[in-house]
Structure 1
């Protein structure tokens, strides 16, 4: 895959799994009593932390797999199953329990560090995002491809930052129903991505046994 195609593939994959619109509803609920300045401060800190976590796993993904003796294709299958479960929850407009439960969201209302939990992690960089980042980085054919993944991560979280900065305007424009529609569409694309991960992983494992 050429660099441009891999960049588009990485960006779409990360954007779908991070799902800024999906984060938007919970973010508005958690910051509803804050001033605009306080809300933007929370948004900036949360996005920076989430981006740093994603970049960490992008850089160290290969080492982590080697340490645990896990192959990329094995992670593709396991990660694909996880992503499909998250996608299924998104299509049903449910909060994915792989990321955060409804109870944890309610308990976060009175906490001051909501930018760490639940916004940065696990909502933006939950198990699904981390798995996707490691897979994209581990599938890179060269240093340039790895740089493309890093660029896709940075751009994804820049989009997240602007989405959270203008969250109230976006929500006012598209409404609750609009956010659910977008979330379900992203869930559909995520399900397709999950199936792609699973089929590639299973096929590579199968052909590896034959060789």
Structure 2
């Protein structure tokens, strides 16, 4: 159980990728008051939690309705996560979504989606709460880990300016690349585990 908790925490952390979100949030919220920044951060985390909890509750049901086997998602997800990890390793500018669309709430776009909750995070929470592999209690623990990572992301967003003064943008870029290496490694494990579970001829 401890191994799964550590594994789940790492997978969720590197796909939600709080450091990249902090850099983006600092760019978007510069010039706003502390109260406005807190409101935006609160809404972004709330929207993210709703999307990810929804993925945990109904994601596998939707896959079953479309006749998509979870092992197929595991293999496809592992490949996509590997590519996402490579993006992080070789540099994915945090300012890609630094300009929100006119009339849109930046807490929704680009903070909640796609910065905090990208397709990789949705795939990971579905895979880590497989109904056929894990009990309801184990799935609840994984959901708790996910909410814990979101809570840490929220705190880091509130401290964004102070953190960036301490580590600087270069420090944030280094951390992002380290997380990318971890994600690439874990994604390869996902694909290998999927192939091991395939029925033998």
Give the TM-score category using the shorter length.
Answer: over 0.9
Q: Does 1:177 align with 2:153?
A: no
How much does 1:162 deviate? 0.4
Name the counterpart of 1:85.
83
Tell me, yes or no, if the aligned pair for 1:6 and 1:145 is still in contact at 8 Å. Answer: no
Tell me, yes or no, if the aligned pair for 2:16 and 2:116 is still in contact at 8 Å. Answer: yes
Find 1:168's aligned residue among 161, 168, 179: 161
Q: What are structure 1's unaligned runs of at least 5 residues?
A: none
Counting matched residue pairs gives 200
Post-superposition CA distance 1:12-68 (Å, at most 9, x none): 110111110011111111111211111111011101110111111011122122111
SS in 2 for 1:108: coil
Alpha-carbon distance in 2 for matches of 1:58, 1:179: 30
Name the counterpart of 2:61.
63
Alpha-carbon distance in 1 for matches of 2:98, 2:20: 17
Alpha-carbon distance in 1 for matches of 2:79, 2:189: 11
Tell me, yes or no, if the aligned pair for 2:27 and 2:98 is still in contact at 8 Å. Answer: no
Query: How has the CA–CA distance of structure 1 residues 160 and 81 changed in structure 2, closer, same or farther, with 3 Å as cutoff?
Result: same
Name the counterpart of 1:203.
196
Name the counterpart of 1:49.
47
Find 2:106's aligned residue among 109, 114, 130: 114
Find 1:148's aligned residue among 117, 121, 141: 141
Find 2:186's aligned residue among 193, 199, 203: 193
Instruction: Name the TM-score, length of structure 2 as normaliser.
Output: 0.93
Name the counterpart of 2:129.
137
Instruction: Name the TM-score, length of structure 1 as normaliser.
Output: 0.89
SS in 2 for 1:138: coil
> Runs of at least 4 residues of structure 1 off by over 6 A?
none
Tell me, yes or no, if the aligned pair for 2:41 and 2:158 is still in contact at 8 Å. Answer: yes
Tell me, yes or no, if the aligned pair for 1:81 and 1:198 is still in contact at 8 Å. Answer: yes
RMSD of Structure 2 on Structure 1 (CA): 1.7
Q: Does 1:35 align with 2:33?
A: yes
Alpha-carbon distance in 1 for matches of 2:102, 2:152: 27
Q: What are structure 2's unaligned runs of at least 5 residues?
A: none
